[in-house]
């Protein structure tokens, strides 16, 4: 488990969280910028989304099928945003 990293900031968080409204992904690290907003800050289960401000973060298991989809989508979004 110690080799698992946040797909956004590369940190070694205890959990990854996804907004139930806009699908922003972030971890519990203070320095995580989130997959959509770029605003630094942590997330926890039930906390208000820093991107859309009306959704709530839900914990996602590192080993769920959702995590594979999240990783794939984030990698694609990052490539498009960075122009690669």
d(CA 62, CA 15): 7
Q: Which of residues 36 and 80 earns the better pLDDT score?
A: 36
Q: What is the pLDDT of residue 84?
A: 64
Q: What is the pLDDT of residue 38?
A: 87
pLDDT at 1: 47
pLDDT given for residue 44 in this prediction: 94
Q: What is the 3-state secondary structure (H, E, C) of the chain?
A: CCCCCCCCCCCCCCCEEEECCCCCEEECCCCCCCCCCCCCCCCCCCCECCCCCCCEEEEECCCCHHHHHHHHHHHHHHHHHHCC
pLDDT at 2 over 60: no
Least confident range from 8-12, 17-21, 73-77: namely 73-77
């Amino acid at each position: 488990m110690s080799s698992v990293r946040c797909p956004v900031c590369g940190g070694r968080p205890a959990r990854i969280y996804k907004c139930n409204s806009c699908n922003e992904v972030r971890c519990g690290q203070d320095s995580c910028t989130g997959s959509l907003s770029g605003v630094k800050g942590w997330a926890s289960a039930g906390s208000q989304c820093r991107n859309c401000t009306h959704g709530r973060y839900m914990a996602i298991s590192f080993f769920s099928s959702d995590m594979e989809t999240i990783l794939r989508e984030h990698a694609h979004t990052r490539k498009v945003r960075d122009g690669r």
